[in-house]
Amino acid sequence: MGDKKAMKCHVEVAVLKKNVDLQKIQSFVERFVTSGVKLKSNAIIQKPDGLEDCVEFIQFDDNIKYFKSLNETQLVYHFYKINERGAEIEILEQSDSNESNDEVPASNHWLLPSRDFTGLWESLIYEEGLKENILKYVETSLLFSQRKVNPNIISCNRIILLHGPPGTGKTSLCKAVAQKLSIRMSQNFKYTHLVEINSHSLFSKWFSESGKLVMKLFSRIREIVEHPQSLVCVLIDEVESIAYARSSVSGDEPRDALRVVNAVLTQLDQIRKYPNVLILTTSNLTATIDCAFIDRADIKIFIDFPTTRAIYEIYLSAIHELMRVQIIQNQSILVYDSLDNFERIDDISDCTEHELSMKLLKIAEQSIGLSGRTLRKIPFLAHSLLVENDVIVLNDFLNALKLSLQNHLKDTKALSTGTQVNGYL
């Protein structure tokens, strides 16, 4: 029998300058992980001792929680510098029959890894394994393309479709995947670009111009893709707006829409020939997407509303952040996986770790059906509407959180029925 294969643990090091002592950093990491400190998933070391002048932070992936020894774990290092420049807007010109020009903000363009997306991957909470599985797919697809696997034998278009209800974080997840790739693939690509297509802007008010704008934009993208040291991630949010089902088109007005769909499909077929491009798409309305586009997508992943587990962890991350900035007093509260070790308590009045955790769990259960976007707002509303002191104890904040949730559910119901609540429609 062969030796047991070592588990991989990715170590991402955000450096402050280009010339750093890599061996010194690796030695620090090895001493730290073998010191007996129990690390959680995606653990971060901010401004590590002795490295403050050259390292902003060090981050471990999910496997760090299984770390036992250096013999059983292979530490895979990724050194990168965060790009401080934000998005640049790509402007395209369109002209009407009177030869006057209009400018169209066709896309946003980032150089990654970007400060805009630092911490985004960690803030997105889904069922265990969802983010990691998407990342594994992307890494495999890029590996196949770089190794020139024959696409006639194994098909891989490097197109992902994330679909589901609004507010579930599909667009943010696409951006987080691109950011993570820019770090993990830095040995393969010198530059990583994220181009977010502004789908709605591509529909021209002038007849037949939209299809031309699509071709013009993809021509710009191809200029970047043709640089072999560049990895290019193209994000098409609400893809149904430019890949509308042609079978549903009727009447005279949608001729331009047909041109757009045909142009998009043609451009995707052309650009996928390059081994360094990835297409990330999202949709809230998959029933309206053209079947030819859906057929081109390698994987279609449904992103649903958060489960109880995810809701609990979303609220918990908000609580930890408010503790970090000293709005909530530091107090221990359990992660979701630890709750199985305890029996539920219905009447919770004390403030022990277990009882506070059970209170948060009940709030999470009452939040089922809310989107991640809404869940992130509830802690803010709890503090702004119901908390009077600058620094509060966790139990009081949980009481405010529960009341804020109840108010939100009541207001949402009233809004859907057109009823007045507290004098407001």
Task: Parse the chain into domains and list their residue ranges.
Answer: 7-80, 88-302, 308-417
pLDDT value of residue 3: 55
If one looks up domain 88-302 in CATH, what number appears? 3.40.50.300
pLDDT value of residue 347: 46
pLDDT value of residue 424: 41
pLDDT value of residue 283: 96
pLDDT value of residue 425: 40
CA separation for the pair 183, 179 (Å, rounded): 7
Bond prior to 165 in cis (omega within 30° of 0): no
pLDDT value of residue 100: 52
Q: What tokens appear for 216 in the block?
A: 């013009």
Mean pLDDT of all residues belonging to the chain = 89
Amino acid at 152: N
Q: Three-state SS for 403?
A: helix
Regions of the chain short of the pLDDT cut 70: 1-4, 94-101, 203-208, 249-255, 341-351, 418-425
* pTM for this prediction: 0.90
CA separation for the pair 77, 404 (Å, rounded): 43
What is the tens place of the pLDDT at every residue in 80-135?
A: 999 999 999 999 876 654 455 678 888 999 999 999 999 999 999 999 889 999 99
pLDDT value of residue 420: 52
What is the tens place of the pLDDT at every residue in 135-145?
A: 999 999 999 98
Q: What tokens appear for 13 in the block?
A: 């090091």
Q: Three-state SS for 231?
A: strand
Angle of helix 394-417 relative to helix 378-386, nearest 10 degrees, comes to 110
CA separation for the pair 174, 197 (Å, rounded): 13
CA neighbor of 115 nearest in space, from 79, 81, 82: 82
CA separation for the pair 346, 362 (Å, rounded): 9
Helices (H), 298-375: 308-324, 353-366, 372-375
